[in-house]
Structure 1
Amino acid sequence: MTWLELYGRALAADEAAAGYYNRNVGLPSPNGKVNVRIPLEAADVMDVRLWREEDVLARIRPYVARVPELRHVSEDPPFQVHHFIEGRVLDSFSPRGAPVPDNVLSDVVTLMDQLVRIPQEMAPDVPDHWPASGDSSGFGHLLASLTRDVHATYRQEYREAFAELGIPADPLAVVEPRWDSLTSRPFAVLHADLHRKNMIVTDGATWFLDWELALWGDPMYEIGIHFHKMDYPEEQRDAVFKRWRDLLPARFTAGPVNDLDLYMAHERIKSAIVDTVRYSKQLAAAARPEREFLMGRLAKKVNAARELWGLRRDLSPERVADALAPWREGWSWTS
């Protein structure tokens, strides 16, 4: 069987796991089961994209053991083939808000430590406009610029929805003055998308998937976006932060907790904007239980940002559904 034939079978497969940027299909091959990873052509890019995932995997493999092994890369048509990792997705037995097994916590911090030890010359190249290592303020401004662009892109179409949800005309004004106060830390390779659906646990070990959002940047951002997406119980978050500061070289973890809080505040604001758009597009095809899940989850995300904007955290799922009425195509909250 050729790689192109494998790709054809993946395209025709009924069962697939899809994120925002890729479709994943597990298939048998002459050399064992593999994961065929196909980019989604219509994906809205709402995250900073720096490197091609296959370049990241090839470069980090000598330093990070529990990442997918790259078997094949095709430019035309675009797809990758990874070895298939058997196991349980962390989210399937430890969903957001639930405690995480201690061995997973250790594996996460170990991964972050392994990443900061990759020399810059061994990472993929960065473009000339990218902030220099140590320019944490420049890195923060770069993240915020993408969030501003996303907001500007959808501001007119979602004007009424944003207003109903409490998203202000300048949603980043509350964090913008703080970027210049960030502590200078040397940059490192960041996964930048470490959450429960990107971790597979097998035989007591955690494997880390989906490296398409990997960045060269401030390690404090890695732990901040991880906390935002993992939604740990508070005591576990504190334990992970302590382990992180104890294990990593001090120069990568230097600075006050205010730096961590700033990155997390930015992610809350970004999530309120981005997920309002993303969830609205999922509503029409969603069955009632999924609709209720989406509206409940979006209410929680927007409420977290509303607190930063000086608003009450009183947004209900029903109010979210009303705000997204133009995208509901005829269904009501009770139907």
Structure 2
Amino acid sequence: MNWPAMYERARASDESAAGYYNRNVGVLTDEGKVNVRIPLEAADTMDVRMWREEEVLACVAPYVSRAPALRHVSREPRFQVHAFVEGRVLDGFAPRGSAVPAHVVDDVVTLMEQLVRIPREKAPALPAGWPESGDGAGFGRRLAALTQQVYDTYAGDYGAVFREFGIPAEPLAVVASRWDTLTARPFTVLHSDLHRKNMIVSGGRTWFLDWELALWGDPLYELAVHFHKMDYPPEQRAEVLRRWRERLPADRTAGAEPDLGLHLAHERIKSAIVDTVRYAKQLAAADPAGRAYLTGRLARKLNVARAVWGAPPEMTRERVARALAPWVGN
């Protein structure tokens, strides 16, 4: 396979799907379609990232039944080639807040069950100073430290907007003293980004994409991030939690309440800060309908975070649009 030529075809293509860290381009070859995954050079780091994605895919391949196969990795230029997963993106027919097909609930819990079976020695090397297995407080503080760093980095340019949105000058103070209350749970490999745009449904089965944010950490964090980003109807959220408790080892699910609430509180705070910056940057390139969607969605995220800070849910799409008007331009 001529990988450099494939990369050039992908780089020149106008047809791609981009997340916050990578651009994905489907390329047809004599051996079938593949996904060429190219890092976005100007991506802002808003999430804890500890491993290269190709390391994660190699690690999970023997244990996880539906993750994309890694075909090729290039260091220079930097890109990966994954097997292309045909199917429908879950978000395309079951958007955030709506019910998902019943099999998706089972597939999600199956994935979490498969991940906890990966032995520590089979996972990639940990960064220096990474919390020891079971140190949920250290893990939580590691996550919160990056959230604080993002706030500090953008407070100069976005400080007035943060204040307008009700984001406190010390946004993490409300959770800082609670990390020590977490139950000790053995760590495991986490996907850490299980949401509807990272799931492909094909033939009644769910495939899980985008492993770039995988971590070694508290399995309850996986569930919290998933709940935050999926926004299930209450009955499906309860079903996921019930199955998760039944199918994962007891030591991985111990103390789920109120620990789940603490991780959710952090995710809501993080979302208010990170998405204020991300959406402000996206508004400049959006058409009127896109701007209405972004400002409405951000208003909802802000109101959820405001509840964590004890503030009333007073953000509206119009109020968000006025505050972010300087980023829209003409």
Q: Common fold, TM-score beyond 0.5?
A: yes
Match runs of 1:41-120 below 5 Å: 41-120=41-120
Q: CA deviation at 1:63?
A: 0.4
For the residue of structure 2 that corresponds to 1:213, the secondary structure is coil
Amino acid of the structure 1 residue aligned with 2:298 = L
Equivalence for 1:321: 321
Equivalence for 2:245: 245
CA distance in 1, matches of 2:33, 2:253: 39
Equivalence for 1:273: 273
For the residue of structure 2 that corresponds to 1:313, the secondary structure is coil
CA distance in 2, matches of 1:21, 1:156: 23
TM-score (norm 1): 0.98
Equivalence for 1:12: 12
Equivalence for 2:200: 200
Match runs of 1:269-308 below 5 Å: 269-308=269-308
Amino acid of the structure 2 residue aligned with 1:322 = R
Match runs of 1:125-136 below 5 Å: 125-136=125-136
**Is 1:26 aligned to 2:31, yes or no?**
no
CA distance in 2, matches of 1:109, 1:97: 19
Indicate if the aligned counterparts of 2:26 and 2:84 stay in contact, CA closer than 8 A: yes
Match runs of 1:222-261 below 5 Å: 222-261=222-261
CA distance in 2, matches of 1:14, 1:327: 25
Q: Deviations over 1:150-191 (max 9, x none)?
A: 000001110110111101100011111100100000000000
Equivalence for 1:171: 171
Match runs of 1:141-180 below 5 Å: 141-180=141-180
For the residue of structure 2 that corresponds to 1:96, the secondary structure is coil
Q: CA deviation at 1:128?
A: 2.3
For the residue of structure 2 that corresponds to 1:162, the secondary structure is helix
Runs of 4 or more above 4 Å deviation: none
Q: CA deviation at 1:308?
A: 1.1
Equivalence for 1:181: 181
Indicate if the aligned counterparts of 2:220 and 2:256 stay in contact, CA closer than 8 A: no
Q: CA deviation at 1:74?
A: 0.1
Q: CA deviation at 1:256?
A: 3.9
CA distance in 1, matches of 2:205, 2:296: 32
CA distance in 2, matches of 1:131, 1:171: 23
For the residue of structure 1 that corresponds to 2:30, the secondary structure is coil
Aligned length: 330
Indicate if the aligned counterparts of 2:36 and 2:79 stay in contact, CA closer than 8 A: yes
Q: CA deviation at 1:310?
A: 1.3
Gaps of 5+ in 2: none
Q: CA deviation at 1:30?
A: 2.0
**Is 1:310 aligned to 2:310, yes or no?**
yes
CA distance in 2, matches of 1:236, 1:259: 20
- What CA RMSD, in Å, does the superposition of the two structures yield over aligned residues? 0.7
Equivalence for 1:138: 138
Amino acid of the structure 1 residue aligned with 2:58 = A
CA distance in 2, matches of 1:262, 1:31: 47
TM-score (norm 2): 0.99
Q: CA deviation at 1:104?
A: 0.5
CA distance in 2, matches of 1:210, 1:141: 24
CA distance in 1, matches of 2:65, 2:30: 24
Indicate if the aligned counterparts of 2:189 and 2:214 stay in contact, CA closer than 8 A: yes
CA distance in 1, matches of 2:99, 2:190: 24
Indicate if the aligned counterparts of 2:131 and 2:138 stay in contact, CA closer than 8 A: yes
Equivalence for 1:333: none
CA distance in 1, matches of 2:173, 2:117: 35
Gaps of 5+ in 1: 331-335
Q: CA deviation at 1:134?
A: 0.5
Q: Deviations over 1:241-279 (max 9, x none)?
A: 010000001010101411000000000000000000000
CA distance in 2, matches of 1:14, 1:63: 35
